[in-house]
Amino acid sequence: MYIHHKLGLGFGGTVGLVLLLSMLAWQNMQILVNMERGQERVRQMREALLESRRHEKNFLLRQDEKWASLTREWMTRLGQMVRDEAALTSGAEHEAWHEIGDITQTYLDRFEALGQIPGQSWEERVIQSERQLVPLARQLHERFDARLATRQGKQEKHLAYTERLHTIFVILAILSAGITVLMLTRSILRSLKSGVQFSRQIASGNLTATIDHIPKDEIGILLHAMQQMGRELHRLDETNLRSQARRLALSALLESSLEPLSLQKQLEVALQIVLTVPFLRLEHRGAIFLADEQDGTLRMMASVGLTPENERSCQTVRPGWCLCGRAALEKRLLHVQNADGQHENRYDGMADHGHYCLPIVSRGRVLAVMNLYLDPAHVKTAEEEAFLANVGFTLAGILERKRLEERMQHLAHHDILTSLPNRVLFAEHLTHALTQATRGQEPLALMLIDLDHFKEVNDTLGHAAGDQVLITSTQRIRVCLRASDLVARMGGDEFAVILSDLADPAAAGRVAGKIVQSVSQPIEVAGDQVVVGASIGIALFPTHGADGDALMANADMAMYTVKEHGRNGFRYFEKADRKNR
């Protein structure tokens, strides 16, 4: 039986309070919506800044005007968003947005000036960007964070105020309803008690609260609506938390790429970041495999939580083999629930599990594969797939940048033709080797090698033939050395070798003899037989010098003594060599 026949006029007061509470709730909802929109505009500005920075990095990397144009477009859009926000505010808030607008314009002006400087190399542009643009970008991030924190603080204060106000009206409504409840049956009292308990749980922040008993009357309709509202609020709260987690994870990946980390350390940090994203529901286990640029073989570069059996069986994976190799070959995200026949890498005692295998692809080329472990019953979601796709896109850009940095570092310290260390890197190795030899009281030998008759090859057969002779001679010298020895190209046809940890000084002569014999063998170049020799000067530490400069000078004098006495041989430094020079 419906209760409105029993409530009469006494229920009118309660209805009035409920209507007033509803009106206040609607007004509060409008205020909260406006506050949330303001926060969302700040987030959009921050994302516009990140998008501009991404295009700027692409411009610096590829020197393509298309990326410069996109950078200007996003910074201009950001500036307009800031001006629009300043127009909506007043007082100190208006001044703050005005300052942000000035920083944004300064950033755009400096970017334009950076692109107009003629004759700049890529490295110089990167340095200028780090000096002039990165500090401004950090200022903008800090200002956006400050504005977002201010608005969130106002929202929290408003929520606290409205919660107190609503509590007062709820108490008034409950008191009014309490007078009316005296006229109702025990079943109605039970329903009202359930409603009060639910209201208190919602007011305390427990959005997962439920009502045990909902009667089929007006109160039941109200309780049902309240329960639906609680469920909807809970759903919205979870969605907001997941969205924040996605943004934080991607921001952390981008921030880590700005740190001076090695490629391996960068991959380890990236793996840890992804494994800590809460809504992915991953096991704290995973690995990242780097793809070989020549044959595409995957080699484990970073891992977390893997067993020793995992580490051994998955050190290398060829394309198309097991899940990681299949993901690399197909260039798409793979999700597998159970350790079934697709797991071709297996070991005894392997527990059942699932996987996300994410290929990291750039311009159609697989750079790496991220392997994440799941509960075998895990069901994939579109949200997870979208987030992992963003992770793959972000890591692709980071890997491209890291590989470019490593290539530049290699070119700065190695000879382009032979890939041997150059004079700069050789000097660093020599200093380190002398420090080790001094500490351990161990003998060390420095050899300078000059190819005999090399100029004649260049003059008669051309520089291409000369390059082939240099490459072949480099290979022959390397064969005569141990893995711990170092050979470098000092320039032209001159090489230097460091022999550490020698059994005796005569060992250097034996190595030099092997090199002379190997280098002097005929070399076939474009159908011609070319014969060059090797003149080698040897200086021993500490007998012939206590530092690198002395050893180099004495080995050089010994080498020229060999050349003056017929070439194609070796000689230990002697004092007479100094007189000859």
Residue 293 sits in the same domain as residue 364: yes
Residue 372 lies in a domain: yes
Picking from 363, 384, 408, the residue at the C-terminal end of a domain is 408
Q: Which of 152 and 371 is assigned the larger pLDDT?
A: 371
Beta bridge partners of 489: 495
Lowest mean pLDDT among 45-49, 166-170, 577-581: 577-581
Look at residues 495, 566, 567, 564 and name the one whose alpha carbon lies nearest to residue 576: 564
Residue 506 sits in the same domain as residue 394: no
Residue 384 sits in the same domain as residue 489: no
pLDDT at 245 over 60: yes
Q: What is the pLDDT of residues 499-525, one digit of tens each?
A: 988 888 888 889 989 999 998 899 888
> What would the two tokens of residue 85 be?
């926000």
Residue 518 sits in the same domain as residue 400: no
Residue 251 lies in a domain: no
Residue 395 sits in the same domain as residue 520: no
**Concatenated DSSP letters for 46-70?**
HHHHHHHHHHHHHHHHH--HHHHHH
**CATH number for position 529:** 3.30.70.270
Residue 231 lies in a domain: no
Residue 60 sits in the same domain as residue 140: yes
SS3 260: coil
Residue 73: its H or E element: helix 65-88
Give mean pLDDT, residues 334-361: 77
**Concatenated DSSP letters for 94-134?**
HHHHHHHHHHHHHHHHHHHHHHH-TT--HHHHHHHHHHHTH
Residue 479 lies in a domain: yes
Q: Using CA atoms, how far apart are residues 467 and 417, in angstroms rounded to an integer?
A: 7
- Model pTM? 0.43
Picking from 184, 203, 219, the residue at the C-terminal end of a domain is 184
Residue 145 sits in the same domain as residue 170: yes
Residue 49 lies in a domain: yes
Residue 344 lies in a domain: yes
Burial 308-342, CB ≥16 within 10 A → b, else e: eebeebbeebebebbbbbbbbeeeebbbbbebeee
Q: Which of 443 and 194 is assigned the larger pLDDT?
A: 443
Picking from 184, 211, 243, the residue at the C-terminal end of a domain is 184
Q: What is the pLDDT of residues 27-36, one digit of tens each?
A: 777 777 777 8
CA 468 to each of CA 273, 453, 457, 511, 536: distance values in angstroms, whole numbers, following the listed order:
48, 14, 10, 23, 21
Domain region containing 287: 264-408
Residue 376 sits in the same domain as residue 439: no
Residue 430 sits in the same domain as residue 514: yes
Residue 205 lies in a domain: no
Give how many domains the chain has, as a whole number. Answer: 3
Residue 97 sits in the same domain as residue 139: yes
Residue 395 sits in the same domain as residue 537: no
Asked if residue 426 lies in contact with residue 488, where contact means CB atoms within 8 angstroms, the answer is yes
Residue 193 lies in a domain: no
Residue 337 sits in the same domain as residue 439: no
pLDDT at 9 over 80: no
Mean pLDDT of the chain: 79
Residue 21: other Cβ atoms inside 10 A = 17
**CATH number for position 357:** 3.30.450.40
